[in-house]
Structure 1
Amino acid sequence: MSIKIVFIGAGRMASAIVQGLLEKEHYTPEEIACTCGDDPTGPALAEATGIHYHPDITQAICEAEAVVLACKPQQFNAIDPQLADAAGGKLILSILAGTTLARLGEKFSKARNLVRTMPNTPGQIGAGVTAYSPLRELSEKDSSIVEKTLSSLGNFHEVEEEDIDAVTAVSGSGPAYVFEFAAALRDAGVNAGLPPELAESLSVDTLLGAAMLLAESEASAESLRDAVTSPGGTTAAALKVLEEADFRALINDAVAAAKARSIELAGE
């Protein structure tokens, strides 16, 4: 059975995609191959999943329908021109942060199409969200490949490339904001007199439950917030503090800073 999809890079996100593709039975292990840099990730992924590992992936790329760029951004420039030539006529799907379609096109000028994506870390457990932008309209075949690949990480949305920097700031970096809030809520619980283990558990379960309720409800975030808030009650007292501290403006500034940095990185 020939190789259908190749991964250049075998880190956590590549591993998540491979495992998702196999669990959903989009591909068999025999149809997937990977390579990696000077590290053990490729052999480890092959051993864990049964896919092929090749130090020299060129021949596998010649057989494949698609190539997923999952290496570190700084390794992108070091990709062998011979390997890029082997990818002629293939679909190139990149998960490299800050790497524009223009830069991808310079390296893979003979590709049949290029797709830039912005996944986030919850994709490692199949609960992520990914935005993607193709260089040109996807064919039915390539659309199927993209959907299979990105659905292995969770939800996905097609966007214009000009929106990728904003996506990076909201959903790409967004999990870090949530983790920081979780840590702050935990610490506040400890400061309020709770044992650390209990404060940790309450923080995680509260965030998880609130997120699930938000996802399953047809109500807006504001409506769900208001349903928790009784006039003159405990929640109202807490929300007043957040409002006086201009919590929303702080989040807006954080996202704006992340977007600005994403634009800077794309130009470096």
Structure 2
Amino acid sequence: MKVGFIGAGNMGRAIANGLKKSGVCKSEELFCISASGSGAARMAAATGATVSESKKELIEQSDVIILAFKPQHLESISEEEANAAKGKIVISVLAGRTLDSMKSVFGDGPSNLVRVMPNTPSQIGKGVSTFCFLKEPSDDETSTTETVLGSLGTAYAVEESQLHIATVINGCGPAFYFRIVQLIAEIADEHGLNKDLAAKLACETGIGSLELLNQSESDPQELIDEVVSPNGVTHALLTSLNTNGMPALMRTATKDAVDRSIELSRKA
């Protein structure tokens, strides 16, 4: 499978590295180009990808084209370049750019258009991506898309209308977990525990707990019940979180984030 990257920033390089390391693509099957040239040079150095002379050449060389540049530059794709994508899969990781905005640029030429929300753990192969197609995909289109995104970690298909809430979960999620660890470390420091040690405890406890949940057939409440003793320390912690407004705060924060995602898509 020949994959071309228009744009070679962090996410583009993460996908290229994943495709190379997983054996999905050989170096000679990877192509890249970037506005300044420096990003493409870094991708080429890391993966052995070929730096294409032009976007049109890259599109012609590739079976799958990945758009990984700044979202506001989508309309810089020319009609000639768009026509070169006829019969190919075009995958976009451009934040906020809808499938309709992609179609307005590429028309009906590509076999399918795919909108993706990846996340930063993709850089270490532990990412979670959500994606949607412009039209009902063929088995080959589904398989190809899942193979490309699988090089980053795991991937799940959603409807485009669901992508705003999915973005809050998997796209914003890493920052949420980082903030939780940061807060725990700050609070622990106030209670006399070294901040760095507290951060490690919080991080490793989170990794183990979430892996337990992921592998378990139990739902979250059942696993909570295994930790909580009546009138114990965990009971005091959870009771305080609930009575001090954590559920309401989470709902408000989620709504604000979803509203912002919708707003950005409308502006894009």
Query: What TM-score do the two structures reach when normalised by structure 2?
Result: 0.95
Question: For residues 164-218 of structure 1, what are the alpha-carbon distances to aligned partners after superposition, in whole Å with 9 as ceiling and x for unaligned?
Answer: 1111122111111111111111111111110122112112112111111111211
Residue of structure 2 aligned with 1:95, choices 78, 81, 93: 93
Cα shift at 1:25: 1.0
Q: 2: distance between equivalents of 1:60 and 1:228?
A: 55
Cα shift at 1:55: 4.5
Whether 1:118 aligns to 2:117 is yes
1:242/1:55 CA distance change after superposition, 3 Å: farther
Q: Which amino acid letter does the alignment assign opposite residue 16 of structure 1? A: A
Q: Which amino acid letter does the alignment assign opposite residue 89 of structure 2? A: L
1:230/1:39 CA distance change after superposition, 3 Å: farther
Q: Is the 8 A contact 1:7 1:33 kept in 2?
A: yes
Q: 2: distance between equivalents of 1:156 and 1:249?
A: 29
Question: For residues 58-93 of structure 1, what are the alpha-carbon distances to aligned partners after superposition, in whole Å with 9 as ceiling and x for unaligned?
Answer: 213113211111111122222333322222222111
Cα shift at 1:54: 2.1
Cα shift at 1:45: 0.9
User: In the alignment, which residue of structure 1 is the partner of 2:38?
Assistant: 40
Q: 2: distance between equivalents of 1:150 and 1:235?
A: 38
What is the SS of the residue equivalent to 2:25? coil
User: In the alignment, which residue of structure 2 is the partner of 1:260?
Assistant: 259
Q: Is the 8 A contact 2:185 2:196 kept in 1?
A: no
What is the SS of the residue equivalent to 2:155? strand
**Runs of 5+ unmatched residues, structure 2:** none
What is the SS of the residue equivalent to 1:132? strand
Q: Which amino acid letter does the alignment assign opposite residue 262 of structure 1? A: S
Q: 1: distance between equivalents of 2:183 and 2:48?
A: 41
Q: 1: distance between equivalents of 2:265 and 2:58?
A: 30
**Runs of 5+ unmatched residues, structure 1:** none
Q: Which amino acid letter does the alignment assign opposite residue 142 of structure 2? A: S
Cα shift at 1:115: 0.9
Q: Is the 8 A contact 2:8 2:68 kept in 1?
A: yes
User: In the alignment, which residue of structure 2 is the partner of 1:62?
Assistant: 60
CA-atom RMSD in angstroms: 1.4
Q: Is the 8 A contact 1:8 1:67 kept in 2?
A: yes
Q: 1: distance between equivalents of 2:171 and 2:196?
A: 29
1:39/1:246 CA distance change after superposition, 3 Å: farther
What is the SS of the residue equivalent to 1:77? helix
Q: 2: distance between equivalents of 1:98 and 1:146?
A: 19
Q: 1: distance between equivalents of 2:170 and 2:244?
A: 24
What is the SS of the residue equivalent to 2:239? helix
